[in-house]
Structures are given as structure tokens and as C-alpha cells.
Amino acid sequence: MRLQFLGATDTVTGSKYLIRHGEANLLVDCGLFQGYKQLRERNWARLPVHPADISAVILTHAHIDHSGYLPLLARNGFAGNVYCTQATRDLCAILLPDCGHLLEEEAEYANRHGISKHKPALPLYTREDAVRCLKLFRTTPYASVWQPIPGLDASLAPSGHMPGSSFVRLDDGSRSILFSGDIGRPNDMVLKAPAMVDGADYLVVESTYGNRLHKNSDPLQELGDAIKRTVARGGVVLIPAFAVGRAQSLLHCIALLKAQGTIAQGLAVYLNSPMAASATVAYRKHQEELRLTAAECDALAQTARIVETADESRLLNTRHGPMVIIAASGMATGGRVIHHLEAFAPDRRNTILFAGYQAGGTRGATIAGGATSVRIHGHDVPIRAEVAKLDDLSAHADAAEIVTWLRGFKAPPRRTFVTHGEPAAADAMRQRIERELHWECHMPYYLESVDLD
């Protein structure tokens, strides 16, 4: 068995792990690179294995940095099965076509305004490519064992990061390897805790928050305070949010704040993401993975007005506060939130509120880092609005929570590969595991191959 790291090294995006076993090739995760230009350019580069020679793909979960390369993989020749849970399949059916649509929109905008060096600018893939690849999906429940390729058993366990998210364990009878994907939090407001697992001979573990601890704060109070401050100024609270996961947590929090009387029942709240609205329906469908009651799910779904069309979205930019707008994408890399930033970031009455991790090189990271302006559609937009962060709504385990989960293993792995983190975070996670658990760790580099003896 041989493992090659095709992504998620020195970055939190582009998750792809190639397992070569016998004559077959298996891909665990198939994500897009996001953030810095040199990372995004990897999406256009050839893989070290031809897509037609990949026998199967297993997804840990539906987020684009773990699934978003699939339409391109399929268009370039992959015709095998894509294995995942039913919830992951349902969410990919929302996320992937939307991603293709956004890529088409960005290419069309670049061509119309002449802001690309490519003539014409082409999308990485289209919505049609994304819809087509969904035919390859095959769902499997947690704890079942199947063979994605001959001689290799696979099983999934809940990772608590989003509905359907999974730890992936592979075993050929001689050795085993466990992929953490993204690890959820033990006390998340919406999702159930990650499952404890026995471990494996080899481990690939994420390190998104490997150098940080989540604040021991009350996200409800922080969100309520930010909204009240902005309402008092007559401003707009603009929240860039991942359409799947963070948007639902925010809607749940706002529903609770209104029920408590912390914010006015009549405060206008807009969910400017048809994808997030569809994802909320999927959340309700898979309520067994949530901590929420049926009534809480209903309140979550009813707390915001859904902005369906692009015209309705543009109309929001002409309105004044007070109001709350939740719009994708979570790191302000594309989508409708970009146009809202152009409209609302220059006004001191408004607040830009980040509710999740901002990968290096994204607009979100630039704004959250204190920049006085940000580049949007070829020009600089001043940032005069208040910028605030809600770190405690993250769906990623922090460094201590990851180590606590690792302590549940029955035996130490022979080797632990630390991935899916910026360099400082991944190295801090490596050091913490070595120091506290005394496990052998390694931080792989891009395209590195390792024999699993």
C-alpha cells in the first residue's frame, strides 16, 4: 500500500489522498484548492495519476475543499464509484452544481469586464459537469464494511463536522489507515459529537486549528452583542458564511436570540444563498445527526427570509439597516457576499462578522487581518465597517479537542501524518502530538509518496 498526498499539505484546502493498492488506485477526498493564487493554479494542473486510472473515490464530507474537484475528475475520465454517506451525497448534490455555476459566473464576469489575462476566461468546470458527476455516487451507512477496490475493506464513522461527515478507515488485512477528514467539536450547538474510534496502523489527521484553542466564550452573547451594536448604529450586519454548516448554526443562534428577546423579533434577517436554504432542508432530513429537536429545526428554517434571485440580491444592496444578511461564501472567495462587501464594507455603521476559519490568501483572511481595503472585481474597496469574529462557532475541533479525540485510540499509530493546516498550525499540532502522546509524526509535502509497510 502506498499513500500520496495530492493536497491539504501546508494548506487547509485541496484535500486529496491517493492510495495505491495492488493494481488499483483509490482517492480519499477530491477537493478544490482555494486561497492563494499559487494554490488555486493547482486545480488546473494534471494529477500524477490519470483520472481514468482511479478506481474509486471515498469522500469524508461534502465541503468543496474535500469534494469540489470531482466534476473535473469525472470530465477528465474518472468513471468509478464515489462512496459516501447519504447526507454527504445529498449535500454534494447542492454544493457541486452551485460551485460549477459560480465558476461559470466568474468566467463570464471576467470576460465581460476584461479583467482576465485569458482570452476568453474559461471556468474550471461547469454546472453541467457537476450534475453529471453525481451519477457516480454510491451511498453507504456508517459502520458498514465494503470493498471500494479489491482486497481493501473500508468503513465510515461519524466525525461530527457536518451531516454525513466521516472518518474513513481502510484495512487490507495486513495494515490499516484512518483519515480524519475534518474533526467536529464535542460540544457543538447543532451537531452531535465525533465518534470515538479504535485507531489504525497509520493516521492522517487534520490540523486546521492545530495552534489554537477556541475561546471559552458564549457565541450566542457575542453574536447578540454584535447585532445589537450594529442595530443601534442603524447598520447592516453582513455575515459571510459557509452555506452548509455555518449558515445553519447562525440561523439557530439568531432564532434563539429572538426567542430570548435579546434581539427584536421583527429584525429583518436575510439568507442570501439558495444553496444554504437547500442545505437547511437537508439538515432537517438528517435530523438524527443533530442535537436539535424537530421544533428547533423548524425555528432554524423559519428565522430568515430566503433571497432567491440575483435581482433580489442586488436590491438588498440598495437597502439600509438595521438588518442581518447571511451570504455565501464563508471566506468571501466568491458568490453573492462579494457584491454585498462592495456595497456595505465602506460604511462605518455596518459590521462584517466572520463566523469561521479564514484560509490564507482569501478575501476573508485579508479583511479579518485588519486590511483597510480589499480587491474586488478589479478595484480596491475600502473597509470602514466594523470587523468582528465569532471563533467559537467553528465546526473544527481545536488543538486540545483533537488530542482528546486521539487519546481514545486503543494503540498508537505506527506513524501519524499531520495535514489540512497552514504550516504554523500543522507544525504546532505535530509538536503537541509528539509531546503529549509520544507518537511518531510527519508533516508531508505536496505530492510526497509514502510506503505503508
What per-residue confidence (pLDDT) applies to 416? 98
Q: Are 3 and 17 in contact (CB under 8 A)?
A: yes
Looking at the structure, do residues 281 and 399 belong to the same domain, yes or no?
no
Domain count, the chain: 2
CA–CA separation, 398 vs 396, rounded Å?
6
> Quick one: how far is CA 9 from the chain centroid?
16
User: Domain check: are 387 and 403 in the same one?
Assistant: no
106 shares its domain with 160: yes
Indicate whether 174 pLDDT > 90. Answer: yes
Mean pLDDT calculated for residue range 368-385:
93
pLDDT value of position 128: 98
Residues 116 and 237 both lie in one domain: no
Average pLDDT for residues 120-129, to the nearest whole number?
A: 95
Under the banding of pLDDT at 50, 70 and 90, the label for residue 356 is confident
Same domain, 143 and 48: yes
Quote the pLDDT of residue 26.
98
For residue 333, what is the domain's CATH number? 3.40.50.10890
Lowest average pLDDT, out of 35-44, 79-88, 101-110, 316-325, goes to 101-110
Considering the domain architecture, whether residues 399 and 382 belong to the same structural domain is answered as no
What does the pLDDT average to over 283-294?
93
* pLDDT at residue 360 in the model: 81
Rounded to whole angstroms, the Cα distance separating 185 from 396 reads 6
3-state SS of the chain?
Answer: CEEEECCCCCCCCCCEEEEEECCEEEEEEECCCCCCHHHHHHHHCCCCCCHHHCCEEECCCCCHHHHCCHHHHHHCCCCCEEEECHHHHHHHHHHHHHHHHHHHHHHHHHHHHCCCCCCCCCCCCCHHHHHHHHHHEEECCCCCCEEEECCEEEEEEECCCCCCCEEEEEECCCCEEEECCCCCCCCCCCECCCCCCCCCCEEEEECCECCCCCCCCCHHHHHHHHHHHHHHCCCEEEEECCCCCHHHHHHHHHHHHHHHCCCCCCCCEEEECHHHHHHHHHHHHCHHHECCCHHHHHHHHHCCEECCCHHHHHHHCCCCCCEEEEECCCCCCCCHHHHHHHHHCCCCCCEEEECCCCCCCCHHHHHHCCCCEEEECCEEEECCCEEEECHHHCCCCEHHHHHHHHCCCCCCCCEEEEECCCHHHHHHHHHHHHHHHCCCEECCCCCCEEECC
pLDDT single digits (tens) 294-337: 999 989 889 999 998 889 999 999 998 899 999 987 788 877 89
Per-residue pLDDT, 327:
93
Q: Phi and psi dihedrals of 57, rounded to 5? A: -130, 140
pLDDT of residue 208: 95
Same domain, 261 and 284: yes
pLDDT digits (tens, 9 = 90+) for 209-242: 999 998 888 889 999 999 999 999 999 999 998 8
Distance CA 253, CA 276 (A): 15
Domain-terminating residue out of 393, 414, 431: 393
> Do 345 and 413 have their domain in common?
no
Percent of the chain residues topping a pLDDT of 90? 81
Q: What is the dihedral of CA 374, 380, 381, 386, to 10 degrees?
A: 40
Place of cell 475543499: 65
Task: Write down the mean pLDDT value for the chain.
Answer: 94
Q: Which of 350, 372, 393 is the last residue of a domain?
A: 393
202 and 293 fall within a common domain:
no
Tell me: the pLDDT tens digits for 397-446? 999 999 999 999 999 999 999 999 999 999 999 999 999 999 999 999 99
* Percentage of the chain exceeding pLDDT 70: 100
pLDDT digits (tens, 9 = 90+) for 6-60: 999 999 999 999 999 999 999 999 999 998 889 999 999 999 999 999 999 999 9
Q: 282 vs 116, which has greater pLDDT?
A: 282
Q: What is the arithmetic mean of pLDDT over 267-278?
A: 90
Domain span including residue 350: 219-393
Which residues 6+ apart lie within 8 Å of 19 measured at CB? 1, 2, 3, 25, 26, 27, 28, 152, 170, 177
The more confidently predicted of residues 449 and 356 is 449
- Domain co-membership, 119 together with 204: yes
- Distance between CA atoms of 265 and 35, rounded to whole angstroms? 37
Same domain, 237 and 119: no
Distance CA 412, CA 435 (A): 13
Give the model's pLDDT for residue 381: 95
Q: Tell me which of 245 and 27 has the higher pLDDT.
A: 27
pLDDT of residue 114: 81
Q: Does residue 116 register a pLDDT over 80?
A: no
The C-alpha cell of 139 is what? 451511498
Q: What is the CATH number of the domain that holds 135?
A: 3.60.15.10
**pLDDT at site 308:** 87
Both 340 and 321 in one domain: the answer is yes
- From 393, 420, 438, the end of a domain falls on 393
Banded model confidence at residue 109, pLDDT cuts 50, 70, 90: confident
> Mean pLDDT, to the nearest integer, of 356-376?
89
Per-residue pLDDT, 66? 97
